[in-house]
């Protein structure tokens, strides 16, 4: 079907994903990533352990007050909890939208081996059709941009932008809201200016290609990085600086029709990710909502608290509920360090 045939539903879903006070839980770690996360806490990545871990988030009492949608991995979209209910029905039961990661990871770019492009366009229309039948309302595709001495190259930015646009058009044709995720990585010793520059080049190319592909901006969500110094730069920027550089860049590049931008956390600590989002929303209203779609910054405390032990699930859920609530406040610019500690 044509994008126009789905537009009203896409707009409604996209608005719901970034409604003030709510954001998205990214729980779509691929098999390799979840294995690494579990290895850090000494837990084997078996199907049962993944079921227990994902299930603890989806059955946290009251989390739906702060979370509008969850991005799932293929296995989780098809999986059931120990009591036999599918995870999709559990989420639907509390009004949380199920979403699906549809990229298939990254590979080296031909001609620029230190840069990555994302796999997964082949056979995508057929997969999207099945995901819609399984109950998905939105999808996600992540492209990574690397900062280095001569990186990112224009060729890498352009290829990733074209692939994101092709994915987004296919999603809208299938009736799924695309989360378009260009992530400029925090890895490296670069300063905040290099991040600002790479982010602006990337977002400009992404919105040019989305337009060329006929993607309706009002029926999609952007998920990009904050403008922040590299992890190995030895510097930290104040939340107000990050907020200023990020929002002024967005004002230059993002179309007003875009319903929202839901940040990735990218390796920031849980509290940093909340403080930085809060600083942006404290600046006032923008044409688009500024929300969160965090993986690590919503899960880290819960993961450590759980430690693979069923008896720790209630405490892990408490940790997740707290993080979700803090980020909910940050979408409203109402987060404070006092509330964090209370
Ligand atoms: C949850 O992790 C997602 C899947 O990553 P892999 O394909 O590497 O397994 C990832 O795309 C995530 O949604 C984003 O990176 C945001 O997560 P963070 O932890 O940066 O908030």
Reported as a single tens digit per residue, the pLDDT across 156-187 is 999 999 999 999 999 999 999 999 999 999 99
Distance 143 CA to ligand 1 centre (A): 11
Give 1's pLDDT tier (boundaries 50, 70, 90): confident
Q: What percent of the chain has pLDDT over 90?
A: 99
Kindly give, in sequence order, each residue whose CB lies less than 8 Å from that of residue 285, ignoring residues fewer than 6 positions away. Answer: none
Expressed in angstroms and rounded, the spacing between residue 266 Cα and the centre of ligand 1 is: 8
Query: Which of the four pLDDT bands, split at 50, 70 and 90, describes residue 134?
Result: very high
List residues with catalytic annotation.
181, 223
pTM, two decimals, is 0.98
CB of 105 shorter than 6 A to ligand 1: yes
Q: Write the CATH number for 98.
A: 3.20.20.70
**Torsion of Cα atoms, 117 then 100 then 27 then 85, to 10°:** -160
Q: Is the CB of residue 264 below 6 angstroms from any atom belonging to ligand 1?
A: yes
Overall number of domains in the chain: 1
Average pLDDT over residues 82-108: 98
Structural domain including 14 reads 3-341
Per-residue pLDDT reduced to its tens digit, 228-274 = 999 999 999 999 999 999 999 999 999 999 999 999 999 999 999 99
Q: Mean pLDDT for the chain?
A: 98
pLDDT digits (tens, 9 = 90+) for 12-43: 999 999 999 999 999 999 999 999 999 999 99
**What residues have CB less than 8 Å from 144, skipping those under 6 apart?**
106, 116, 118, 160, 183, 185
**Token pair listed for 307:** 């430690």
Q: Does ligand 1 come within 6 angstroms of the Cβ of 33?
A: yes
Cis peptide bond N-terminal to 105, omega within 30: no
């Amino acid at each position: 079907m044509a994008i126009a045939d789905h537009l009203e539903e896409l707009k409604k879903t996209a608005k719901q994903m970034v409604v003030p006070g709510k954001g998205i839980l990214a729980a779509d770690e691929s098999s390799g990533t979840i294995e690494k996360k579990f290895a850090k806490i000494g837990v084997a990545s078996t199907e049962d352990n993944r079921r227990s871990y994902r299930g603890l988030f989806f059955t946290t009492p009251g989390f739906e007050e702060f979370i509008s949608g969850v991005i799932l991995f293929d296995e989780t979209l098809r999986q059931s909890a120990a009591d036999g209910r599918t995870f999709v029905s559990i989420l639907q039961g509390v009004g949380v939208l199920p979403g699906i990661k549809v990229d298939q990871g990254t590979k080296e770019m031909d001609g620029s081996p230190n840069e990555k492009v994302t796999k997964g366009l082949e056979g995508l229309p057929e997969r999207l059709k099945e995901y819609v039948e399984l109950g998905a309302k939105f999808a996600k595709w992540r492209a990574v941009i690397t900062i280095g001495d001569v990186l990112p190259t224009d060729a890498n930015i352009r290829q990733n932008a074209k692939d994101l646009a092709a994915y987004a058009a296919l999603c809208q044709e299938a009736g799924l809201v695309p989360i378009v995720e260009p992530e400029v990585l925090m890895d490296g010793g670069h300063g905040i200016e290099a991040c600002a520059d790479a982010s602006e080049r990337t977002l400009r190319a992404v919105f040019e290609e989305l337009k060329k592909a006929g993607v309706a901006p009002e029926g999609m969500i952007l998920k990009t990085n904050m403008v922040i110094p590299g992890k190995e730069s030895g510097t930290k920027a104040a939340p107000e600086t990050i907020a200023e550089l990020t929002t002024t860049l967005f004002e230059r590049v993002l179309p007003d029709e875009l319903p929202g931008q839901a940040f990735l956390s990218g390796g920031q600590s849980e509290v940093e990710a909340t403080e930085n989002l809060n600083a942006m929303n404290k600046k006032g209203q923008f044409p688009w909502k500024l929300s969160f779609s965090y993986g690590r910054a919503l899960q880290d405390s819960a993961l450590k608290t759980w430690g693979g032990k069923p008896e720790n699930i209630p405490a892990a859920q408490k940790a997740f509920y707290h993080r979700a609530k803090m980020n909910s406040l940050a979408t409203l610019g109402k987060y404070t360090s006092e509330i964090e500690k209370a």
